[in-house]
Amino acid sequence: MDALTIHRLHFAFTVTFHYLFPQLTMGLALLILILKTMALRTGNPHYASAARFWAKIFAINFAMGVVTGIPMEFQFGTNWSRFAKSAGGVIGQTLAMEGVFSFFLESSFLGAFLFGEKRLGPKAHWVAAFLVFLGSWASGFLIVATDAWMQHPTGYAVGAHGETVLTSFWGLLLNPWLGWQYLHTMSGSVVTASVVMAAVGAFYLLTGSHQEHGRTFVRLGVIAGIAATVLMVFPSGDGQGRNIAWNQPVTLAAMEGLFDTEQGAPLAILGQPDMERRRLDNPLVVPRALSFLTYQSWKAQVKGLNSFPPQNWPDSVPLLYYSYHIMVGLGTIFLAVLAIATFRLWRGALYQSRPLLWLLMMMLPFPYIANTAGWITAEVGRQPWLIYGVMRTPAGVSAQVSSGNALFTLIGFLGIYTILAILFLFLVYREIEEGPERAAAI
Amino acid sequence: METIWFWLVACMLVAYVIFDGFDFGAGIVHFLVARTDAERRVALSTIGPVWDGNEVWLLAAGGTLYFAFPALYASSFSGFYLPLMMVLWLLILRGASIEFRNHLASPVWHPLWDAGFAVSSALLAIFFGAALGNVVRGVPLDASGEFFLPLWTDWTPGKSPGILDWYTVLAGVAVLAVLALHGALWVALKTAGEIEVRARRVAGLVWWGALGLIALLTLASFGVQPRLQASFAARPWGWLFPLVAIAALMAVGVMNRRLRERAAFLASSLFLAAMLVSAAFGLYPCVLPSNGDPARSLTIANASAAPYGLRVGLVWFIPGMLLVAVYFVYAYRSFDGKVGLEEQP
pLDDT of residue B48: 84
User: What's the whole-number mean pLDDT along residues A144-159?
Assistant: 95
pLDDT of residue B254: 93
pLDDT of residue B106: 85
The 10s digit of each residue's pLDDT in B16-34 is 999 999 999 999 999 999 9
pLDDT of residue B342: 52
Find chain B residues with C-beta within 8 A of A89's C-beta: 70, 305-306, 309
pLDDT of residue B173: 96
Rounded Cα gap, residues B283 and B228, in angstroms: 6
Report the b/e string of B56-93 with b at 16+ CB within 10 A: bbbbbbbbbbbbbbbbbbbbbbbbbbbbbbbbbbbbbb
Is it the case that residue B306 has pLDDT exceeding 50? yes
Q: Tell me whether the omega of the peptide bond preceding residue A273 falls within 30 degrees of 0, making it cis.
A: no
Q: Is A14 helix (H, G, I), strand (E, B) or coil?
A: helix
pLDDT of residue B85: 95
- Whether B53 has its CB under 8 Å from any CB of chain A: the answer is yes
Is it the case that residue B344 has pLDDT exceeding 50? no
A347 to chain B, closest Cα gap in Å? 40
- Whether A349 has its CB under 8 Å from any CB of chain B: the answer is no
User: What's the whole-number mean pLDDT along residues A238-267?
Assistant: 93
pLDDT of residue B341: 58
B59 with A103: Cβ contact below 8 A? yes
pLDDT band at B336 (very low <50, low <70, confident <90, very high): confident
B70 to chain A, closest Cα gap in Å? 5
Rounded Cα gap, residues A415 and A409, in angstroms: 10
Is it the case that residue A349 has pLDDT exceeding 80? yes
Rounded Cα gap, residues B288 and A260, in angstroms: 53
Find chain B residues with C-beta within 8 A of A95's C-beta: 63, 66-67
Range scoring the smallest mean pLDDT among A12-16, B97-101, B170-174: B97-101
How large is the C-alpha radius of gyration of chain A? 23
Q: Is A273 helix (H, G, I), strand (E, B) or coil?
A: strand
pLDDT of residue A118: 86
Q: Bridge partners of A157?
A: A165
- Whether A298 has its CB under 8 Å from any CB of chain B: the answer is no
How large is the C-alpha radius of gyration of chain B? 20
- Of all residues in chain B, the one with the smallest CA distance to A410 is B85
- Whether A147 has its CB under 8 Å from any CB of chain B: the answer is no
CB atoms within 10 A of CB A436: 25
Is it the case that residue A442 has pLDDT exceeding 50? no
Rounded Cα gap, residues A268 and A258, in angstroms: 8
Q: Bridge partners of A281?
A: A272
Reply yes or no on domain B2-305 having CATH 1.20.1630. Answer: yes
A403 to chain B, closest Cα gap in Å? 12
First and final CA of chain B: distance in angstroms?
A: 47
pLDDT of residue B294: 86
The amino acid occupying position B245 is: A
Q: Bridge partners of A270?
A: A284
pLDDT above 70 coverage of chain A, percent: 99
B169 to chain A, closest Cα gap in Å? 22
Is it the case that residue B332 has pLDDT exceeding 80? yes
Which one of A376-385, A428-437, B220-229 scores highest in mean pLDDT? A376-385
What is the H or E stretch that residue A301 is in?
strand A301-302
Find chain A residues with C-beta within 8 A of B306's C-beta: 89, 159, 165-166
* Domains in chain B: boundaries: 2-305
Find chain B residues with C-beta within 8 A of A121's C-beta: none
Rounded Cα gap, residues A342 and A196, in angstroms: 16
Please report the DSSP string for B30-83 in residue order: HHHH--SHHHHHHHHHTTTTTHHHHHHHHHHHHHHHHHH-HHHHHHHHHHTHHH
- Whether A171 has its CB under 8 Å from any CB of chain B: the answer is no
Q: Which of B6, B318, B61, B66 minimizes the C-alpha distance to A90?
A: B66
pTM assigned to the model: 0.93
Residues A327/A363, Cβ–Cβ less than 8 Å: no
